[in-house]
A and B are shown apart, each in its own frame.
Chain A
Amino acid sequence: MSALTQAQAAEFLYREALMLDRFDFDAWLDLYTPDCLFWMPAWRDDGTQTDDPDRELSLIYYRGRRNLEDRVQRIRSGFSVASTVMPRVAHMVGNVLATPDGQGQVRLDSSFIVNVQDVRTNRSHAYFGRYEHELRLEDGGWKISQKVIRLMNDVVPTMLDVYGI
């Protein structure tokens, strides 16, 4: 298995989305390589996003799965009031396009909508934007070596955690 069909690429993203919907965080973390990039840029102005994470601000910028493990630990800790009554989320992923880079990695472009029911306040909202995944074969399976989340509606109602994007 050295290339992904469009159908396999879409299925990979659907599985990630399902893991997040179910808060199946261990399986979700396992999708990522230890040195993965997980990046949600901020907006520089009305129309352009920040694109140099060391000189510009991001909403989230992690190099290393360890950071995602910290996020999950905080969510599960029982010591975060923002994570006590968990919002319910449903991811929709579409418009998936797979582009092999010729060197064993595959780039996936897709669109997402995450519908969120904030149970604590009984408010519903949606986060939406585009994903840019890069997948790499590791130990015979595809892993996420890079995920960029381009959030379009960046005026965040109160809070946004990794399961909401």
Chain B
Amino acid sequence: MMKRFALGDLVDDRPKDGVFRVNRALFRDAALFDLEMKHVFEGGWVFVGLSTQAENPHDYFTGFIGRVPIIVSRDGAGELRCFVNACPHKGVRLVQKLCGNARRHVCPYHSWTFDSAGANKNIKWAKSGCYGAGFDDDNHDLASVARFGEYRGFLFASLNPNVPSLEEHLGEARKLLDLVADKSPEGVELVPGRVCFTYAANWKMQLENCSDQYHFTSTHPSFIRILDQRGKEQAAEVVQSTLGAADFWQEGASGITGGTMSFDHGHVLNWGVMPVSSAQPDFERAEDLAERHGVAKRNWMFNMRNLTVFPNLQVAENASSQMRVIRPLAPNLTEMQTWCIAPRGESAQARAFRIRQYEDFFNPTGMATPDDTVCYEEAQYGMAEQERPWLQGHARGLAASVEGGNDYADMIDLKPARSVLADAQLCDESLFSSYYRAWAARMAEVLA
């Protein structure tokens, strides 16, 4: 096979020389994008949804793995399954709805019928079909995805069978999903109401922005000013922000205010110290959480945490709690599906507070996210530059990055591959290298 791209031309990874650079081509090249879809998104583990999205027997929801439509269905026996959402007959998308409950799925085109476990239950007029022997030998069930697994309610799938176990893929990032799932003994759920938006830029802009502390005070000053003003006035009609009570992003803060951690397989965390305060809806359970999990883990649950599980899941616990799923559509077009993720069983008051904080900051109709997505689009314009292909956006913190963890990681027995402890102005970018190393690993067979 002719390998059109050489890794060294795309990612300049020379730790000994203190260099980590990414070529703009990764954000714009159409041929590279096709390879990414096949090898990054359709060639390894990706996040597909939460188990509570199909809670009861025969519940289902639909989505995509890369370009391939899928159904996640809970069968009659209560087992979750994941199929390609395409009728084996003519390839027609079997289920058109986003979610629902059905014992049988009937293809709208020729009425082939499948049960909630994906088994073919009827081929219309099969006996009079004069099929050849070859047809009878075929399997007519829905195609199961090669690998499917759950961790604490988070569902992942892979179209490629040759991947590590889900446990190994997630590795230490499991402990960060635990911090989300353990907020309630009943686990987590999605608040009803999905918010979906697109932006005209590459998917990696979102991947990076979630773990980019450097942008916050530059991109969101209009929001920060409103926070300041609300903080002074304490008006009853406006929602209190979690961020007002924290100083990890404040220029004047001193000492260690947070940092970053990177894990194998491309998962990263950036985090900031946030006090256990009534500015967070979880405050009502602060004591209970400390009793259940110990003070250190409880305090970590209140910290600002932006987690990426490579390549498409982000759980942002900062201004509220958000679950994002990244779906690349083209080199310069990305769809974001976003939900408010919340501990089950929290009080009605805490839930309403969480939702208000969420809408204020995270929605594409809110006061912060639009300033991010517009910046992604502006970056996309600049990705056309070819004279100087190397971006300079992956270099901060390189000299502060150490192998392994630190005291903060030790508090919850977290063992990152690398970590950075930071003051408010360090704003590490070296964690992004974890994304590109995982990207390169998935692309290895097509990169020279």
Binding site for B on A (CB under 8 A): 40-46, 50, 53-67, 70-71, 73-74, 77, 79-83, 120-121, 123, 154-161
Q: In whole angstroms, how far apart are the Cα atoms of A60 and B366 in the complex?
A: 7
Known: A54-B351, A80-B221. 14 other contacts (CB 8 A): A44-B192, A54-B348, A55-B355, A56-B192, A57-B359, A59-B195, A60-B365, A64-B237, A79-B225, A81-B375, A121-B200, A158-B374, A159-B373, A160-B364
- The residue on A at minimum CB distance from B230 is A70
Within 8 A of A (CB), among B336-352: 339-340, 348, 351-352
Q: Is the CB of B196 within 8 A of A155?
A: yes
Within 8 A of A (CB), among B126-153: none
Mark interface residues in B106-126 (1 if CB within 8 Å of A CB, else 0): 000000000000000000000
Pick the residue among A58, A67, A82, A83 that contacts B238 (CB under 8 A).
Answer: A67
Q: Is B97 among interface residues, defined by CB-CB distance under 8 A?
A: yes
Q: Is B77 among interface residues, defined by CB-CB distance under 8 A?
A: no
Q: Is the CB of B373 within 8 A of A158?
A: yes
CB < 8 Å A-B pair total: 146
Within 8 A of A (CB), among B314-361: 335, 339-340, 348, 351-352, 355-356, 358-359
Q: In whole angstroms, how far apart are the Cα atoms of A55 and B350 in the complex?
A: 10
- The residue on A at minimum CB distance from B239 is A67
Q: Is the CB of B367 within 8 A of A74?
A: yes
Q: Is the CB of B225 within 8 A of A77?
A: yes
Q: Is the CB of A60 within 8 A of B363?
A: yes
By a CB distance below 8 angstroms, the chain A residues around B226 are 70, 73-74
Q: In whole angstroms, how far apart are the Cα atoms of A46 and B61 in the complex?
A: 11
By a CB distance below 8 angstroms, the chain A residues around B340 are 57
A-B contact pairs, 29 of them (CB 8 A): A42-B194, A44-B192, A45-B97, A45-B99, A56-B355, A57-B191, A57-B193, A57-B340, A60-B363, A64-B237, A66-B235, A70-B230, A74-B222, A74-B223, A77-B221, A79-B222, A80-B223, A81-B219, A82-B371, A82-B373, A120-B374, A155-B197, A155-B335, A157-B198, A158-B198, A159-B373, A159-B374, A160-B370, A161-B370
Within 8 A of A (CB), among B193-242: 193-200, 219, 221-223, 225-226, 229-230, 235-238
By a CB distance below 8 angstroms, the chain B residues around A44 are 192-194
Q: Is B378 among interface residues, defined by CB-CB distance under 8 A?
A: yes
By a CB distance below 8 angstroms, the chain A residues around B172 are none
Most buried by A among B99, B365, B370, B373: B365
By a CB distance below 8 angstroms, the chain B residues around A123 are 200
Q: Is the CB of B192 within 8 A of A82?
A: no
Q: Is the CB of B193 within 8 A of A43?
A: yes
- The residue on B at minimum CB distance from A65 is B237
By a CB distance below 8 angstroms, the chain A residues around B198 are 155-158
By a CB distance below 8 angstroms, the chain B residues around A73 are 225-226
Q: Is the CB of B359 within 8 A of A61?
A: yes
Q: Is the CB of B191 within 8 A of A55?
A: yes
Pick the residue among A43, A53, A82, A83 that contacts B194 (CB under 8 A).
Answer: A43
Q: Is the CB of A157 within 8 A of B235?
A: no
Known: A54-B355, A57-B191. A156 touches B377 (CB 8 A): no
Known: A63-B237, A74-B367, A82-B370. A57 touches B223 (CB 8 A): no
Known: A56-B191, A61-B356. A159 touches B237 (CB 8 A): no
Q: In whole angstroms, how far apart are the Cα atoms of A54 and B351 in the complex?
A: 7
- The residue on A at minimum CB distance from B235 is A66
Q: Is B98 among interface residues, defined by CB-CB distance under 8 A?
A: yes
By a CB distance below 8 angstroms, the chain B residues around A56 are 191-193, 355
Most buried by B among A62, A66, A70: A70
Q: Is the CB of B374 within 8 A of A57?
A: no
By a CB distance below 8 angstroms, the chain B residues around A79 are 221-222, 225
- The residue on B at minimum CB distance from A55 is B351
Pick the residue among B98, B100, B200, B374 that contacts A81 (CB under 8 A).
Answer: B374
Q: Is the CB of A158 within 8 A of B97?
A: no
8 closest A-B pairs (Cβ-Cβ)? Answer: A64-B237, A57-B193, A159-B370, A42-B193, A82-B370, A80-B222, A54-B352, A79-B221
- The residue on A at minimum CB distance from B197 is A156
**B73 → A minimal CB distance (Å):** 16
Q: Is the CB of A80 within 8 A of B371?
A: yes
Q: Is the CB of B238 within 8 A of A160?
A: no
Q: In whole angstroms, how far apart are the Cα atoms of A108 and B225 in the complex?
A: 35
Q: In whole angstroms, how far apart are the Cα atoms of A40 and B364 in the complex?
A: 12
Pick the residue among B100, B192, B348, B352 that contacts A50 (CB under 8 A).
Answer: B192
Q: In whole angstroms, how far apart are the Cα atoms of A125 and B192 in the complex?
A: 27
Q: Is the CB of B219 within 8 A of A66?
A: no
**A76 → B minimal CB distance (Å):** 9
**A125 → B minimal CB distance (Å):** 11
Q: In whole angstroms, how far apart are the Cα atoms of A57 and B342 in the complex?
A: 12
Q: Is the CB of A158 within 8 A of B196?
A: no
Q: In whole angstroms, how far apart are the Cα atoms of A162 and B237 in the complex?
A: 18
By a CB distance below 8 angstroms, the chain B residues around A55 are 191-192, 348, 351-352, 355
Q: In whole angstroms, how far apart are the Cα atoms of A53 and B363 in the complex?
A: 14
**A50 → B minimal CB distance (Å):** 4
Q: Is the CB of A45 within 8 A of B367?
A: no
By a CB distance below 8 angstroms, the chain B residues around A59 are 195, 359, 363, 365
Q: In whole angstroms, how far apart are the Cα atoms of A46 and B196 in the complex?
A: 12
Q: Is the CB of A46 within 8 A of B97?
A: yes
Q: Is the CB of A158 within 8 A of B199?
A: yes
Pick the residue among A41, A57, A64, A82 that contacts B355 (CB under 8 A).
Answer: A57
